[in-house]
């Protein structure tokens, strides 16, 4: 019985979709222009528990994934390791910048949230 449950869980995980992340601003911008989407840029760090919660839990929630994939190119940048684009200031992490295809910041979300609340925040950014 345990073996069958393990096979079922592994099989389901193969079909679960996660987000695809870009790690370079200009590449994300090029994709956003080509796909007529905005960029959702996340500043994070490996040591940040709230950032890890967003990536490991919230960004694996299928409703969140579906909405983000439909509307955004996801760019994630580590504040300690990656080159951060000029003009996008932050105080704490995670910080999410919603950027249009002209590289203009439209919105900023500071901090993480549970999946349903984060999705509600994104949907309110029309």
Q: Concatenated DSSP letters for 27-91? A: HHHHHHHHHT-EEEEEEE-TT-HHHHHHHHTGGGSHHHHHHHHHHEEEEEEETTTSPPPTT---S
Assign 15 a pLDDT band (cuts: 50, 70, 90): very low
Assign 40 a pLDDT band (cuts: 50, 70, 90): very high
Residue 58 tokens read as 């919230």
Task: Identify the domain containing residue 119 by its residue range.
Answer: 17-123
Whole-number pLDDT of residue 55: 96
Residue 4 forms part of a structural domain: no
Assign 19 a pLDDT band (cuts: 50, 70, 90): confident
Give the pTM: 0.84
Residue 70 forms part of a structural domain: yes
Domain count, the chain: 1
Q: Tens digit of pLDDT for each residue in 91-108?
A: 999 999 999 999 999 999
Residue 40 forms part of a structural domain: yes
CATH number at residue 89: 3.40.30.10
Whole-number pLDDT of residue 17: 63
Round to whole Å and give the CA distance between 98 and 31: 14
């Amino acid at each position: 019985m345990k073996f069958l449950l393990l096979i079922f869980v592994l099989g389901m995980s193969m079909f679960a979709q996660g987000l695809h992340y870009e790690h370079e601003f200009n590449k994300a911008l090029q994709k956003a222009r080509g796909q007529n989407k905005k960029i959702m840029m996340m500043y994070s760090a490996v040591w940040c528990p709230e950032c890890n919660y967003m990536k490991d839990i919230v960004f694996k929630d299928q409703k969140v994934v579906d909405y983000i994939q439909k509307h955004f190119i996801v760019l994630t940048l580590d504040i300690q390791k990656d080159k951060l684009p000029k003009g996008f200031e932050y105080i704490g992490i995670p910080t999410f910048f919603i950027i249009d295809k002209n590289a203009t910041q439209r919105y900023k979300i500071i901090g993480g949230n549970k999946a349903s609340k984060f999705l509600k925040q994104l949907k309110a950014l029309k």
